[in-house]
Structures are given as C-alpha cells and as structure tokens.
Structure 1
Amino acid sequence: MPRLIAALGLLCLLASTALADQPLRVAVEDHYPPYSYADEAGRMAGFNVDIAHALARAMGRECVIVALPWNELLPGLAHGQHDAIVACMAVKPDRLEFADFTNYYLRSKTGFIGRAGMDHDTSPEALRGWTLVSQEDTAQLAYLRETYGAVAVVEGHPSMEEAFLAVARGRADLCLTPLLAGLEFLKGEAGKGCDIIGPALTNEQFAHAPAHIAVRKGDTGLRDQLNQGLRTIRANGDFAAISRRYFPFSVY
C-alpha cells in the first residue's frame, strides 16, 4: 500500500509538471475596449488580456491569448480550442451546461448610453416606440426584452461596440451596457456626441452580475488553480496595478 500511494503521488506530480509546461490558452473577446482589443501593433491588449497574463504568471505558465467574437467563446471552450475565457462573462444557467466558473474578478454597473443632451426618463412608458439595443446573449439584452419588449423595439448586436455605433449613427436610441465599457466608448472618437443617459440601474432593477472566468465543464482543477491565481494577484498588487491602467476606480 505505501508503494501504491507513493506511485500515485508521483503520477500526480508528473501530471502537474506536464500541465505547467503547457501554455494556458485564454480566450478573450476580439474587440471590447477597454477589456480586449488590438493595439496599434496588432497585439491584443486591455484589462482582460493583462489579467490573463498575470494569472498565467502566478500559475507558472505561459499565456497564449485567443481572440474570438463573443458568440464563439463558449463553443470554442467546449471543443477544446482554449482552456479558459476571460471576457467579463456572467454566470447564467444556460452557460453552466457547458462551463464551470471561477470566483468573480470584476463588477460593473449597468446603464444607458444615448445621444448627448438627451435628458430623458428611461421608464418603459417613456421609451414607448424607441429602439433599444445591447449585445447578443448578455444579461443587458435579456433585461431589455423583459422590461421593454412590450413597448419598444429591442435589438441584439454581435458586439457591444456595434450596439454603441448603432446609437452613435442614429440607428438606435439607447444602448444598455456595462458602464465601464460605455465609458471607454465615450472617450473615443466614435463616442463623441454620446453620453450616459439617466442614472445607473439599481440593484433592485438589474442584478449587477459580477464577471467570472469560464473553464470547461468539469475542469475543477484549472478552476481551482485560477481561483488561487486570482488570490495571488490581488495579494501581490498586480490586480490593482492593472486596474489603474484602465479605470479611475476599483472594479473589484
């Protein structure tokens, strides 16, 4: 029995060593500033990209970033194209069929963006007949459909950037978005002429679901390693330093 236990321990050690030798393949959304975007040199940058690299360092692994459209992130994970997703993803029942999730790493309030100077009531009755947009397969779009679907036109777009542009170009009236992403859009050239409309949704109106890292269903080993990595980068100051590069306030 002692020999069997020793052999099993050696196998676990060898497996851990082999895993550490493999790069950590992390998928991010291909264009979702300030979380993930291609910089002037064509390299992926942004808050989520930096968090992925910091986690890989904490785990002693190389990080390989895989940039994909939002609707390809979970299918790619299920088919083994990448190991984890760092893309501001909330935990939803349908996603739990395909993925397990770490502890949260990010929180953001949700609110509307529209044309500047539009000081407008955002209640359902006040927005009757308006066109409201958000990104497909998000909690924000689900909220729009549930709250405004009976009185307004609700449309989903492949990315939040495209939803922002629909408002900026006059094809939609308001976009419901995580405000951290909205602030980044407003700082850019495309966001000129737009602004935050009304107050952020309250917790009673909208459950501000925190963002988690997704791993393949059943991969509890990687999930636990990433949770330890999150604890490490919060303790050693890496998380705070990355946050300060992109946001003027705490996002945890």
Structure 2
Amino acid sequence: MSDSWPRRRLLAILRGASEPLDAQELARITGQHVTTVRFHLDVLTKESLVRQFQQPPRGRGRPRIGYSAVQRSVGYQELAQVLADQLGPDPRRRSEAAITAGRTWGAKLDAGDHAVESLEDAKDVAMTLLSELGFAPERDQAAETDEQVLIRMTACPLRELARTHSEVVCGVHLGLIKEVLDRNGARGEVNVRLHPFVDPELCVARLELSGQRRAQDNREVASVPAGADQAAGGEPALAPPLAGRVAPQLRNADPNVAKQSAQQW
C-alpha cells in the first residue's frame, strides 16, 4: 500500500469521513472508475487498513458495502512531542530544522506524477497531499485570485502539539508541501506559506505565484529581492495569522518565545 498513491488517497478520505463510504461514493470523490476503487478497497481490506460494513440499500436492491478506516493506536502524538523537544530552545532554529525535516520527508514520499504547470496544478497537488495526510483540506474559492490560492486545513493529526510547538509541527508540514510541489515542477514558480490557527481549529495554506512568474505572466519587468520573505536557511518563514489575528499558541506564552516567533514571521 505504501507505494500506491490512489490507495493512500482513498485511505485518507476514509479517515476523514464521519461515516462509512461505499465504492460508488469514493469513485465520485476521487474521479476513479468504480471497478478501480473496489480493487484498491479490497487491497486495503486485506491489509487490515479498512473495514467493511453492510449498509441499507438505496431503494430496492441488495445492501451496500461501506468502508471505514481502521484507526491507528500508536502514540504518534507522544512521539512527535519527544522529537519536538529535542530540537532545542530557539524557535527560529527549531523552525529551520523542522522545514528541513519536512523536505526530507517529502523527498522520500511517493508524490505521484502530477506536473505543476500552473497555480491550479499546484493547488490540486497540495489538496491531494493534505487530504492523504488527514488535514481535510477545503478550497477557499472566495479568497482566490489569479496570483494566489488559499487552502483551509480543517483538521490536523497533530493539532494539540501544534498549539504549543507550531514552529516544529507547521514547519515540517511547510517543508513537506514545498518539497512535493518542487518535485512536480513548481520550484521557483510557486511560493508556499502557512498561517497557523487563524481560528482555534483552522489553519490555512497560501499558494502564491512567485514574483518572477507574475512578472512573466504580465510581460512586465520585475525586481524580486533575493532574500525576500525568507527565513535564514533560504526557506519561507511561517506566515503570521491572517487578518491580523494573534495565533492562539502565542497567547499567554512566554514573551521571549512570542517575540522570537514574531520576528521570524
């Protein structure tokens, strides 16, 4: 299963679903043929990653077979906490190390073969990746322009840890998204920023055309500062909360940590 992009996507969708889904519903969501979906579901069932449930038929006919993801019991939250604590006390260095770790993760991940030739392509790749990882992403069409796309991350597998270690958790996710997009052709074309906790249960990923790409598209001469909007080490820093909001993880936090994080943003 680890080498199959379609099966990982199906598993991520089932993990984020509030009730079992049948093959027809999954085919509609993924755009795959229902026969292909059933094949992948059979593999996931044999690997004990999903379970089958009998569901009432729609109208007349035989009962439907629904599928639900088997929930993991491994203490990933505790493991992530231990790892975060090993990155040292300086928020900036922790963030840089986390972004590097995220890029390393993205380099080893089977990211499929989805060429990024436009901002829309970058959005599709990012949405698929975030869905597979359990973030339940939603496209924020009201905030979209020709130069940026916002993706609402309505769930996070490490949300509680992110409230106290956002520079680590969000840094890893930022590096991961950037690496996957770069591997598919977005390097130098699309910038990625994360806005942690714009609401208590919501984070936002912002995908923007780079300054050079905008200038090319508009047939204008643009000058882009070499280090603009980047943290030390050549990676974009985590973005500040949208609309001037204060991130919950910095409220009532140690003033020195809040000050260092604000400087990084």
Please indicate the TM-score interval, normalised by the length of the shorter structure: under 0.3
Report the structure, 1 or 2, having the larger helix content: 2
What TM-score comes out, normalization by structure 2 length?
Answer: 0.21
Report the structure, 1 or 2, having the larger strand content: 1
What TM-score comes out, normalization by structure 1 length?
Answer: 0.22
